[in-house]
Amino acid sequence: MKLYGYFRSGTSYRTRIAMNLKGLEYDYLAVNLAQDEQLAETFKTLNPQGLVPVLQADDVLLYQSPAILEWLEEVYPVPPLLPSDAAGRMQVRALSAMIGCDIHPINNRRILQYLRHELSVDEAQVITWCNRWISEGFAALEKRLAADHTRGKFCYGDTPTFADCYLIPQVSSARRFEVDLTPYPTIVAIDAHCRTLKAFIDAEPMQQPDAPQAI
């Protein structure tokens, strides 16, 4: 398998975590977003949206990280990253969507580049923008996670799920954008635990081969 991604891309990061948790081997092919390589026609033949990640598995070409994670779960069901019951799967998907639909897209690179270059927003205002939406999303997520008294050290249950694959990259992004994480002790505790596990450590942005060269 070949995974096209960028070291600091949150969607690439969550996909790496999921693949590592599944114990899958893959070739990592860097697409430098800082140099707009995702907009090159050669890459757009893989994904016309010009977005990472893209996963190539034999004759199957996969795009959009939520769909990639679902495909991984169906094709490589062990170890599972979704609970066995319908209610549990709904909970994990809902937690994932809180991050993947309502926090991450507002703060991803192309939005921030539009703010900087098209609307002439300065860097301090960009940080303020990111802080606002990450903090608002984390406040709701913290309440959900803290209210689940059956939860172990992860977002749901006692093993990693999709929700953890989504959460850890978003916490990294929050730290990058100087978000005060003090109000979110449950999120911080889950993040700290996950970062002790090899699958998460190996997926970290600075562990990727393109990290030293890209900005």
Q: What is the pTM of this model?
A: 0.96
Q: Which of 64, 79, 94 is the last residue of a domain?
A: 79
Q: How far is CA 62 from CA 24, 51, 67, in A?
A: 15, 12, 8
Residue 214 clears pLDDT 80, i.e. is over it: no
How does pLDDT run across 87-100, given as a tens digit for each residue? 999 999 999 999 99
Omega cis (within 30) before 53: yes
Q: Are 86 and 166 in contact (CB under 8 A)?
A: no
My answer on whether 50 and 96 are in the same domain is no
- 42 & 7 share domain: yes
Specify whether 177 is located in the same domain as 106.
yes
First to last CA, the chain: 26
pLDDT at 59: 87
| In-domain check, residue 52 | yes
Residues 172, 99 within the same domain: yes
Count of the separate structural domains present in the chain: 2
Domain encompassing residue 139: 86-200
Average confidence (pLDDT) over 23-52: 95
Q: Is residue 187 part of a domain?
A: yes
Q: Which residue has the tokens 């093993």?
A: 159
Residue 6 lies in a domain: yes
Tokens 């192309």 label which residue? 110
Per-residue confidence band for 83, with pLDDT thresholds at 50, 70 and 90 = very high
Residue 179 belongs to some domain of the structure:
yes
Residue 213 is predicted with a pLDDT of 63
Name which of 33, 69, 70, 73 is nearest 52 in CA terms. Answer: 33
Do 56 and 18 lie in one domain? The reply is yes
Q: Indicate whether 60 belongs to any domain.
A: yes
What is the distance between the alpha carbons of residues 171 and 203, in angstroms, rounded to a whole number? 14
Q: What is the pLDDT of residues 117-139, one digit of tens each?
A: 999 999 999 999 999 999 999 99
- Give 23-71 as a DSSP string: T---EEEE--GGGTGGGSHHHHTT-TT--S-EEEETTEEEESHHHHHHH
- Helices of type H across the chain: 10-21, 41-44, 65-75, 86-100, 109-117, 123-147, 162-176, 185-194, 198-203
Give the end of a domain, one of 79, 99, 117. Answer: 79
- Which tens digit of pLDDT belongs to each residue from 140-187? 999 999 999 999 999 999 999 999 999 999 999 999 999 999 999 999
Q: What CATH code is carried by the domain that includes residue 14?
A: 3.40.30.10
CATH number, position 172? 1.20.1050.10
- How confident is the model over 181-207, as pLDDT tens digits? 999 999 999 999 999 999 999 999 999
pLDDT recorded at residue 212:
80
Same structural domain, 65 and 109: no
Same domain, 99 and 138: yes
Single-letter amino acid, residue 11: T
How many other CB atoms are there within 10 angstroms of residue 193's CB atom? Answer: 15
- Considering the domain architecture, whether residues 188 and 93 belong to the same structural domain is answered as yes
pLDDT (average), residues 27-43: 95
124 and 20 in a single domain? The answer is no
95 CB-near residues (< 8 Å, 6+ apart):
141, 144, 145, 155, 156, 162, 163, 166, 167
Is there a single domain that holds both residue 67 and residue 92?
no
Report if residue 214 sits inside a domain.
no
